[in-house]
Amino acid sequence: MNPLHLQAPAPRPAAFLHQAGVPSSMEVGDPIGSRLRRLREQLDPVRRVVHAGETIFQAGERFAHLHVVNAGLFKLINTSADGREQVVGFKFRGDWIGFDGIADGRHKSDAVAMDTSEVWVLPYEQLLARSVQQPGLLGELHAAMSREIAHDRESMMALCTLPADARVADFLRYWAESLAMRGMRTDEIALRLTRAEIGNYLGMTLESVSRALSKLVRAGVIAFCSKGRRDVRIPDVEALGRFVQRYLVPASATLQ
């Protein structure tokens, strides 16, 4: 029996088929684009351009605005009281940034642009006021927060249950999927991250990331593009998923 349940719960319902990232109010084709379009119509937000390496806010600053990524790419960096630093997330086009500041009015992380990017600045109080009039807007906000919570849980799970190589494979899969969801090329992707950053995000050293990538190349699941080892070629995203699975067959792993 399932060791995590103190007592065996009722059997799992049949409709148990979910994976993160599938948006709810789905317009076929381009859910994220249409999400953004609706937001722009409803809020006509101020746009702000941020260049690579610049932040939209830093941990500790007063929270007053939420941001939505309209172009580019961000990483979120947390710093613990004792100075440990970690990349805790990435934000792509259509993602919201800044939820963790709502509770006590202070941002909890640095939001750093990884490329020239554009965010829409949404004054939180104004957003609330408009949400009250436009229920669709409120739904959008809640869905975004909900997705973030669900995704963070998936990350925790990957950290806890996957060995290093599989974690790297899973990370690439996640990245490719994020791009695909936004209608971007997924066969050749530019990570714009150092091995150290990837390792920091995945809880391993940069050497382990490098070795894992080399292994994935040897396994034929990925390849590096022409010059530089920063750009990754992924002929078949599904193959990454299968690579992750292969690691789970030995210790099939319900736990223990």
Partner DNA sequence: CGTTCGATTGAGGAAGATCAATTAATGTGG
Partner DNA sequence: CCACATTAATTGATCTTCCTCAATCGAACG
Kindly identify the residues of this chain, within the stretch 203-242, that bind DNA according to CB under 7 A.
203-211, 213-214, 224, 227-230
173 binds DNA (CB under 7 A): no
Q: Which stretch binds a second copy (CB under 8 A): 37-45, 69-77, 173-181, 220-228?
A: 69-77
Q: Which stretch binds a second copy (CB under 8 A): 4-12, 34-42, 211-219, 228-236?
A: 4-12
126 binds a second copy (CB under 8 A): no
Choose among DNA, a second copy, none what residue 102 binds, the Cβ cut-off being 5 to 8 Å by kind. Answer: a second copy
Amino acid identity, position 194: T
User: What is the spatial distance between Cα 182 and Cα 116, in angstroms, rounded to a whole number?
Assistant: 17
Laid out side by side, the sheet with 223-224 consists of 188-190, 231-233, 223-224
CA angle 80, 82, 87 (to 5 degrees): 35
Choose among a second copy, DNA, none what residue 54 binds, the Cβ cut-off being 5 to 8 Å by kind. Answer: a second copy
Class of residue 182 by CB neighbours under 10 A (exposed 0-12, middle 13-18, buried 19+): middle
59 binds a second copy (CB under 8 A): yes
The residues near 36 (Cβ < 8 Å, ≥ 6 apart) are 68, 70, 93, 94
190 binds DNA (CB under 7 A): no
Two structure tokens written together for 75? 């990483």
164 binds a second copy (CB under 8 A): no
106 binds DNA (CB under 7 A): no
Q: Which stretch binds a second copy (CB under 8 A): 31-39, 147-155, 176-184, 214-222?
A: 147-155
Class of residue 132 by CB neighbours under 10 A (exposed 0-12, middle 13-18, buried 19+): exposed
Residue closer to DNA (CB basis): 108 or 211: 211
Q: What is the dihedral of CA 211, 214, 216, 220, to 10 degrees?
A: -160
1 binds a second copy (CB under 8 A): no
| Among positions 27, 46, 47, 54, the unique one binding a second copy when judged by CB under 8 A | 54
143 binds a second copy (CB under 8 A): yes
| DSSP state letter for 101 | G
3-class state of residue 185 by DSSP: coil
99 binds a second copy (CB under 8 A): yes
Residue closer to DNA (CB basis): 133 or 254: 254
Angular region, 248: left φ>0, alpha ψ -120 to 50, beta rest? alpha
49 binds a second copy (CB under 8 A): no
Closest listed residue to residue 61, CA positions, set 114, 100, 88: 100
| Among positions 114, 178, 195, 240, the unique one binding DNA when judged by CB under 7 A | 195
- Which positions touch DNA (CB under 7 A)? 3, 163-165, 194-196, 203-211, 213-214, 224, 227-230, 251
